[in-house]
Structure 1
Amino acid sequence: MGKLTNSMWRLLGSQSSRNQSKSVALIDDADKHTEWAAEVADDGFVAEAEKLDLGADRAEVTKFLALAREAADRTLGLRAFDVQLQGALRLLEGDIVEMATGEGKTLSGAIAAIGHVLQGHRVHVISVNDYLAARDAEWMAPLFEAFGMVVKSVTENSDRAERKEAYAADVTYASVNEIGFDVLRDQLVVSADELVSPKPDIAIIDEADSVLVDEALVPLVLAGAAEGEVPDQAIHDVVARMKNKHYEIDAEGRNVSLTDEGAAFVEEELGGINLYDEEHVGTTLVHVNVAMHAQYLLERDIDYIVRDGGVHLINASRGRVAQLQRWPDGVQAAVEIKEGLAQSDSGEVIDTLTVQALIGRYPTVCGMTGTALAAGEQFRQFYDLFVSQIPPNTPNIRIDEGDRVYDTKANKVEAIVAYVKEVHETGQPILIGTHDVAESEELAYFLDKAGVTCVVLNAKNDAEEAKIIAEAGTRDAVTVSTQMAGRGTDIKLGGSSGDDAARDEIVELGGLCVVGTGRYDTERLDSQLRGRAGRQGDPGRSVFFSSLEDPVVTKNLAFKRDPVSQSEDGSMGAKGVDLIQQAQRIAEGVMLELHSNTWRYNKLVNQQRDIIVKRRMEVVTTEVALDELADKEPERYAALTGASTESTENTEGAAPADHEGAKTATDTADSGDTADTDTAESAPTTPTEPVDRDVLVQAAREIVLFHLDRAWADHLAFVSDVRSSIHLRALGRESPLDEFHKLILEAFTTLPTEALDNARTTFREARITNDGVDLGASDLHRSTTTWTYMVHDNLFSSGGAKTLQGIIGIFG
């Protein structure tokens, strides 16, 4: 079976033994340089490292490994194990490295980062959240400093100056969110000195499967304030009074729509209107749909929490509050109405970037995770990356008990409480992994009723995460947590004090006991939760409780009749385990299908975005905007600079030079090369003195950028509209993907020309003086308030995915 499994993974693009023998041989050779490295003075690492040419031959690499191991021992008190050096080598070769939980991926990543910097690169170590990025940067800083390298981190609280400083460092630690949003925010700058995010070079991705697979479908969105209406209280009140017969929710829980009876109800409640006439179809009906989305699809303590008088989104894959993020298109305000809170402004999408496209900007990508092999196909298919499996330094002795499956959620919860109470009486620490805030609080309630005191860790108290996790391994501790405690944390047996006696006591009790309250959609997430126990050879055990009412089952299996338990406690035995495994396999297939489908839809949009970004960077960093406008609007240029019209017309496309003493042009009639929209009525304001060239360069830049950004935002809105309805093309036996590409390609073809034509009009008509351009006077306003958010982009549930989810269970 083992040989078959390894062969299967290799066929899927993962190679568990990829270049393993070569890496082991290099590490064996590195041991020969141990004495040499030990003789290097504390201030001598920089000089010795600078002598190394890691691209030359293996001898140079082995000396580097010995040097890195010695430096880590001295600066961090961590002497790298052979397997940690092996992981660093595979990262230097550009692989995704699978290292078991607790095996020291952080040190391996830091050593690899040093190796890349020595080869002349800048490195971004990309994590799943700010906490881990800041922690690891601070933790590894002494090691980097020993090699004369600067390391910084970027967090949500970093200001622009701190971000620029961090990205200028040799190694930058940051979450994928922050790097992505910095890239997006750079698309708003109007001068080169405002740019923050540098050209990408090397990306080392921590928790690579989470970032590259689980987050790949998540677009990072930059939105700006815009005038727009949101559902008012009256509409919300009507929607809140609806009955089940008034609306329908699709099988995937993503969309809600009015039934005929529901439409009649709303029309009557709003005064006998017709929702579908011209007066209401584009306003009232839209607001009703938004209100229904907020009321019936978004659930408190699952999709969001209410804290400090505001609605805060929850990042489902991480279990944490998504700071500074909000929903678009009036949904945020609709949820706020639902919760009786003050409403936020509406907004529009300024730019968007998928995580997959963000990572695709890096010429070299590598990463590390404890669960890489299971995601090998995604790594290969979407990123052309392969997996190297690194053996553990010490054998895993954790006991993984068989799943316990029940017919109903109620019976499952009862069994969990009984199990936890029994284990708790022995003093063994317990970590219970739940799927969302609501479930964590519900289970804590039942545990409390059973006399089991527990600590809850979820998005509501995420600021206390480090403190709670630090004590989760102490005697009698029971910690109920969402997915946020599933990765990047280290639960030490006996607690954070490091008391050997306390640790030995927990070891005697069997280590940490991990309890899962239900299987996730992918076994990788289950493995991550299990991995909280049995770290670095510690004892531990894990067990999952599931029910046939769990989402992984209800979303992916359909039964002709509900399976019936033959036991009084509702347990389903082996049949139940088979059903859970079947549902999870289908869920994993659906996720891969959705990823593939979404990638195909996003690919062309990403290519178009690259074109816009290239154009924008050219405008920001050069004088091309003025050159083009001067060429297209020579008389206006002459009026602004004091140059003569005759000299302007002889420039053959180049920006005309300033002529001191030249008469200011006052005739603003259009030349033959201007757009058809030009009129004599749009007479610009002519300055009383020539505008300084530097000022004019910046004015032209701001004009061109405004219209380019406006055109791109409009294009994204068009793309969104097309995507929301393109699946209907299948009803006409057309290919939705082909039609999607056709429509957005046609729309994009005219974008550059239209943006430049609009810029020419503004260049002619706007007030431009030595104080700059006044776009506001021309009613051209940029968003002064921006925010970010993330949405799961599973809009293209293909026929294949629907078929998988519609499989009828053969049991029961």
Structure 2
Amino acid sequence: MTNPFSKLLTLGNDKRLKGYQRKVQAIGDLEEGFKSKSDAELKSFTAVLQERIASGEALDKVLPEAFALVREASLRTLGMRHFDVQLIGAMALNDGCIAEMKTGEGKTLVATAAAFLNALTGENVHVVTVNDYLAKRDSEWMGQLYHFLGLEVGLLQNGMQPWERKPSYAAHITYGTNSEFGFDYLRDNMVSSPAERVQRGQHFSIVDEVDSILIDEARTPLIISGLGGAAADLYNAFAEVMPRLSREDDIVLDEAKRTVYASEKGLDKIEEMLGMEIYADASGKLANHLKQALRAEFLFKRDVEYVVIDGELKIVDEFTGRIMEGRRFSEGLHQALEAKEHVKIQDENQTLATVTLQNYFRLYEKLSGMTGTALTEDSEFRHIYKLPVVPIPTNKPVIRQDKEDLIFRTVDAKYKAVADEVERRHAKGQPVLIGTSTIEASERLSRLLDKRGVKHETLNAKNPEREARIVEQAGRLGAVTIATNMAGRGTDILLGGNRDALVRDALVRYENSNMTDEEKLHTAEAEADYITSREGYAVRQFGGLCVIGTDRHESRRIDNQLRGRAGRQGDPGESQFYLSLEDNLLKRFGQDRLHAVSDMMIKRGMPDDQPLQDPLVSKVIGSAQRQVESIHFGARKNVLEYDDVMNLQRKAIYEERNAVLDGKEFDDMQIFRILYDLIVYKLQTFCPYDKSYVDWDYPALDAWMVEMSGAPEYDSKFYDIHFQDILADLLHDDIMNPYRRKRKEVGTEEMKDIARQVMLRQIDTHWIAHLQEMDYLKNGIGLRALGHRDPLVEYKEEAYRAFTDLTFCIYEDFIRTLVRLPVEKPEIVLPPEEDNPFRLDKLIYSNVEAALTESSEAQLNQAKNNAPLL
């Protein structure tokens, strides 16, 4: 059931859709004209549209012609003509909206019209997918259309080198995953020269499966890490004491909110076993070790949130069930889990750069997305991303039957009933897709079907390409497929099987036959046509694809996605969920109310294998899902609120860093301003306005001046100066003078280059340290709520102070390095005259030598002008 507030927010969609319908009519009127054009004429029309846009014509003005062009090109290259509703979906994308289109409506093709139109501007268009397989598949598949129209297509894949990525970003349209785009953004802000950047900005993005990327994955920020200090012994020590704690007395656990902490009694017990006082550690590291050890022991379960494969602990995506290769939990949680499972503890990582997906995607000038299920999260899309959801009508009416949930008292009874139902449907030939929420559940069900001799495929979301191959054939006669709820997302299930996939498989079988290539293809196509026609007819007679859910997901949206796998494009289909009163969702959020239901079933003598269809239980389930959705939204909002603070700092640092990288000059005036700001800031520490000069710390000021200037000692001449402004001017001169001497020794232009390199190094070094400091601050800031202070407000204030300190620390180290930079006189070696093809006059070399010796800037420049080859 959709949120009533979402309905209010989408009231304007009817008006929007009517406007889209008028444009569809205009596109239809152009269709015959484009049909009459040759391939070359179609391709050349792309250039015509590009010229019109370059001359100032608006995208909306050329949209009908661009969409009509894409529709005709698609028919010629892909054999697919855009449905009217697909054009409407593309218009929603172009308007910066989310197009909610049911499964099987052809979202991959929808993206082409909007991507083509926006690529005509010459700006970058990024099409974002949920995994590398889909990015590669879609770029190659839809790439035929783009290439036909004269556009270049780029592809990003995990493991590509920077020199491979740059051409992909230079293309008109680039396909890749959200992680690849996000990490490249971070890496581009860590490069040491402009030429190393791979991206060319963020203009227009189409996010496929937008709910998965912008909602489900938004709680986990993207982090680039480097090796930090290792502390394996501490992790092992904490992991060893965790199993000795009592759940009743030693910890306070809230599974609903996913929080756990030690009680006073538990803390005393832990400290006694470890032989250390945890909160006596001023750095907060021991407190973090305790926090992560408790989370690892009591909140994270093996084969649910993570798996251990070949001695390595890997994260399982809670929404897709897919193993997240190369990803690690942050803040020491991953190491705590490794200690718990007694596998090798990998080195701790130090954050080098980080950004949330929310703040990365908000960088785009225009953002859009597609999914089958977005309306339940409409308010979040609008609030966080300013993205309205536009439900797009289906091409054909949906005739799928969504049946009421069947509720069993125990988990065992539920799985037995599922196995019975699958066996019955399989026997008559109806294909069945079974959705599970965990790897553990899928393996349990697989074992039950094995015992009954039911042939099936089990997808644990470990191999996206293999998943897609299997899901493509999940609609074949008698097929039984067990999958985590999101496995194979992005791949259509066609009743009777996927013809192209059957052709592919047949060609592999015929590889070593004596047939010619033409005969192989003809035979394979004939075989595929026969199978899909015969099996497709039979499957439709048996009721189409049957989708069975083995438990409700925490999000209603995921349940709807599973249901949506059946009934595509007007096909028949069924869906039904099998639940038990022992399911995790109900135990966590409806336990008290469901005790009465369980007692009632027992009193009535209902056998365990008899299901209950009770509106009360359904109401509890809906309430539980809304609670979890609210909690998850709160978590994402919390992550974003904290990252918004860091985002302002990140933008400022990256803006300054890029300015330096792109050639920002540090001339005398720039150095003068930086130094003066630094001195005023330092005087607030040594000689503050709010204290009498009698209390000013002149010795500390002397020590600082020695450190900054590099003088062996610095006898203060300031003791009689009682005014900060005068003091600042004198200090300024005493640092600027050695800087000017150093600049004369090195040369003005050379000093500017050195200053850029020094500033770049200081920004990077201090920013990394700042990120670590802010991590520790964020981890401990929640405790301030105990003192009735708002942690977010406290974090903002602390972050502001920390960033001010960061800025002046960068300035201080920058100035100190420039002033104290050791300079060696370059040794100029004359090439032997017989080896010198340019026959340079020796006088020129002597001029350069004299200039360097005398530190004369004018002579050095004159010598360089005389010897341009040097």
Give the one of 45, 53, 63 matched to 1:48. 45
User: Is residue 2:611 matched to residue 1:571?
Assistant: yes
Contact 2:320–2:461 (CA<8 Å) still a contact in 1?
A: no
1:137 shift after superposition: 0.8
1:167 shift after superposition: 0.8
Kindly report which structure 2 residues correspond to 1:587-626, keeping only aligned pairs within 5 A, or say none: 587-624=628-665
**Cα separation, partners in 2 of 1:493 and 1:768, compared to 1, 3 Å:** farther
The equivalent residue for 2:242 is 239
Distance in structure 2 (CA, Å) of the matches to 1:168 and 1:201: 13
Q: What amino acid sits opposite 1:226 in the alignment? A: G
Q: What amino acid sits opposite 1:706 in the alignment? A: R
Give the one of 543, 549, 554 matched to 1:516. 549
The equivalent residue for 2:585 is 552
The equivalent residue for 2:506 is none
Q: What amino acid sits opposite 2:239 in the alignment? A: H
User: Is residue 2:172 matched to residue 1:131?
Assistant: no
Contact 1:201–1:362 (CA<8 Å) still a contact in 2?
A: yes
**Cα separation, partners in 2 of 1:690 and 1:412, compared to 1, 3 Å:** farther
Contact 1:87–1:390 (CA<8 Å) still a contact in 2?
A: yes
Contact 1:695–1:770 (CA<8 Å) still a contact in 2?
A: no
**C-alpha distance after superposition, 1:436-461 (max 9, x if no partner):** 21222122223323443332111444
**Cα separation, partners in 2 of 1:467 and 1:192, compared to 1, 3 Å:** same
Give the one of 406, 412, 415 matched to 2:414. 412
Contact 1:399–1:541 (CA<8 Å) still a contact in 2?
A: yes
SS at match of 2:541: helix
Distance in structure 1 (CA, Å) of the matches to 2:775 and 2:618: 41
The equivalent residue for 2:513 is none
Q: What amino acid sits opposite 1:579 in the alignment? A: V
The equivalent residue for 1:726 is 781
Q: What amino acid sits opposite 1:748 in the alignment? A: F
**C-alpha distance after superposition, 1:149-172 (max 9, x if no partner):** 101111112211111111111001
SS at match of 1:19: helix
The equivalent residue for 1:311 is 313
1:71 shift after superposition: 0.4
Distance in structure 2 (CA, Å) of the matches to 1:210 and 1:396: 23
SS at match of 1:484: coil
1:691 shift after superposition: 5.7
**Cα separation, partners in 2 of 1:769 and 1:534, compared to 1, 3 Å:** farther
Contact 1:275–1:281 (CA<8 Å) still a contact in 2?
A: no
Contact 1:319–1:482 (CA<8 Å) still a contact in 2?
A: yes
**C-alpha distance after superposition, 1:285-325 (max 9, x if no partner):** 65454444333333222222223442222222232222221
SS at match of 2:466: helix
The CA RMSD over aligned residues, in Å, is 3.5
The equivalent residue for 2:78 is 76
1:518 shift after superposition: 1.4
User: Is residue 2:814 matched to residue 1:759?
Assistant: yes
Distance in structure 2 (CA, Å) of the matches to 1:480 and 1:257: 37
1:597 shift after superposition: 4.3
**Cα separation, partners in 2 of 1:551 and 1:719, compared to 1, 3 Å:** farther
The equivalent residue for 1:712 is 767
**Cα separation, partners in 2 of 1:282 and 1:65, compared to 1, 3 Å:** closer
Contact 1:618–1:624 (CA<8 Å) still a contact in 2?
A: no
The equivalent residue for 2:576 is 543
Contact 1:153–1:173 (CA<8 Å) still a contact in 2?
A: yes
**C-alpha distance after superposition, 1:388-416 (max 9, x if no partner):** 22211111121111111233333322322
The equivalent residue for 2:852 is none
Give the one of 347, 362, 367 matched to 1:360. 362
The equivalent residue for 1:372 is 374
The equivalent residue for 2:706 is none
The equivalent residue for 1:111 is 113
- Higher mean displacement: 548-557 or 619-628: 619-628
- Higher mean displacement: 549-558 or 424-433: 549-558
1:241 shift after superposition: 4.8
**C-alpha distance after superposition, 1:193-240 (max 9, x if no partner):** 111222110111111222222233331112111124233545433434
**Cα separation, partners in 2 of 1:596 and 1:286, compared to 1, 3 Å:** closer
SS at match of 2:224: strand
Contact 1:220–1:353 (CA<8 Å) still a contact in 2?
A: yes
Distance in structure 2 (CA, Å) of the matches to 1:49 and 1:478: 46
- Structure of higher CA gyration radius: 2
- Higher mean displacement: 525-534 or 552-561: 552-561
Query: Which sections of structure 1, spanning at least 5 residues, go unmatched?
Result: 635-664, 772-812
Contact 1:124–1:174 (CA<8 Å) still a contact in 2?
A: yes
Give the one of 94, 98, 107 matched to 1:96. 98
Contact 1:18–1:387 (CA<8 Å) still a contact in 2?
A: no
Distance in structure 1 (CA, Å) of the matches to 2:669 and 2:432: 67
User: Is residue 2:733 matched to residue 1:701?
Assistant: no
Q: What amino acid sits opposite 2:588 in the alignment? A: K
1:31 shift after superposition: 1.8
Contact 1:220–1:352 (CA<8 Å) still a contact in 2?
A: yes
Q: What amino acid sits opposite 1:406 in the alignment? A: F
**Cα separation, partners in 2 of 1:675 and 1:102, compared to 1, 3 Å:** farther
Distance in structure 2 (CA, Å) of the matches to 1:502 and 1:561: 44
The equivalent residue for 2:798 is 743
- Higher mean displacement: 20-29 or 623-632: 623-632
Kindly report which structure 2 residues correspond to 1:158-307, keeping only aligned pairs within 5 A, or say none: 158-230=160-232, 231=234, 233-244=236-247, 245-252=249-256, 254-263=258-267, 265-267=269-271, 269-270=273-274, 273-276=275-278, 278=280, 286-307=288-309
Distance in structure 2 (CA, Å) of the matches to 1:291 and 1:446: 35
1:148 shift after superposition: 0.9
Distance in structure 2 (CA, Å) of the matches to 1:236 and 1:733: 32
The equivalent residue for 1:494 is 496
Higher relative contact order (CA 8 A, sep 6+): 1
**Cα separation, partners in 2 of 1:714 and 1:113, compared to 1, 3 Å:** same
The equivalent residue for 1:794 is none
Q: What amino acid sits opposite 1:169 in the alignment? A: A
Contact 1:475–1:494 (CA<8 Å) still a contact in 2?
A: yes
**Cα separation, partners in 2 of 1:585 and 1:752, compared to 1, 3 Å:** same
1:698 shift after superposition: 5.4
**C-alpha distance after superposition, 1:685-715 (max 9, x if no partner):** x999966888765543343233323333333
Contact 1:303–1:313 (CA<8 Å) still a contact in 2?
A: yes
- Higher mean displacement: 67-76 or 423-432: 423-432
Contact 1:329–1:348 (CA<8 Å) still a contact in 2?
A: no
**Cα separation, partners in 2 of 1:504 and 1:287, compared to 1, 3 Å:** same
Distance in structure 2 (CA, Å) of the matches to 1:464 and 1:558: 39
Query: Which sections of structure 2, spanning at least 5 residues, go unmatched?
Result: 503-527, 676-708, 717-726, 827-870
User: Is residue 2:540 matched to residue 1:507?
Assistant: yes
Distance in structure 2 (CA, Å) of the matches to 1:674 and 1:493: 82
The equivalent residue for 2:686 is none
User: Is residue 2:30 matched to residue 1:33?
Assistant: yes
The equivalent residue for 2:831 is none
Distance in structure 1 (CA, Å) of the matches to 2:651 and 2:59: 37
Distance in structure 2 (CA, Å) of the matches to 1:746 and 1:687: 33
Contact 2:378–2:388 (CA<8 Å) still a contact in 1?
A: yes
**Cα separation, partners in 2 of 1:687 and 1:453, compared to 1, 3 Å:** farther
**C-alpha distance after superposition, 1:511-532 (max 9, x if no partner):** 2111111112222111111111
The equivalent residue for 1:808 is none
- Per residue, is there more helix in 1 or in 2? 2
